[in-house]
Amino acid sequence: MKKAKKENPKINIKWLNILLRSGLILCVIWLVIYSLATKFSLGGLKLYYPIWLGISIMFYWIGYRGLYQFKLAKDRKAINELLKEISANENHSRLNNRNVEEYTENHPIFRKFKDLVEKERVYRQQDLTLDSMAVLLETNRSTLSKLINQVSEKRFTDFINTYRIEEAKELLGNPDFDKYKISAIGFEVGFNRAGTFYDVFKKYTGVTPTKFKQNIST
């Protein structure tokens, strides 16, 4: 059986590229206006003050977003390490009590699939798909999809999200994770966007992760 890939926290820098390009454009505009104002005595400062203010606001925003992304990455790394520590100290048991036909539950491919999900927790991979899972199991997507549908009566995505949400609920209720951002927890259990995590969590639990955490605390 092929080993599942480990998901490493990544920092999103698309926003930085956009802001830097915008800043460059503002700087060029400011330089042109300043040069024209100086050359033709057009009143100078009043013309390029708004541009200068925009540049200042932009650099403040870069600093704010940079600190946010750094804190998010730091939280995700700490959560990842804590999850490893928890995994090292617990014995993972297989879930064999599903109300399905015996031959379906014991299908070799499905048994390997469950091992990957429940023991190696491949659902934490943000890029996990039915195709990539089929490759890990050395089968095809059609066979795997049919097995999952017959056993769990769920689609692949719903089946995987069930495990993601269950672990997210455990972490949100664990005081050891109180100091970390809720979105960082969502990323660590396998979601690639905070918005998706919040939407799926509410779909499965009826409340948002924030509300769920508040309910536990009260």
Per-residue pLDDT of the chain (218 residues; tens, 9 = 90+): 444 444 445 555 565 666 667 667 767 776 776 676 666 665 555 555 666 666 667 666 666 666 666 777 777 888 888 887 777 665 433 333 333 344 467 889 999 999 999 999 999 999 999 999 999 999 999 889 989 998 988 999 999 999 999 999 999 999 999 999 999 999 999 999 999 999 999 999 999 999 999 888 76
- State the residue for tokens 């480990």: 6
Model pTM score: 0.61
Q: Which of 135, 128, 133 is nearest to 7 (CA)?
A: 128
pLDDT at 171: 94
Dihedral angle computed from the Cα positions of residues 9, 13, 15 and 18, in that order, rounded to the nearest 10 degrees: -160
Q: Are 144 and 167 within 8 A, CB to CB?
A: no
* Tokens standing for residue 120: 């190696």
Short-list 121, 118, 69, 127, CA closest to 95? 118
Distance CA 46, CA 57 (A): 18
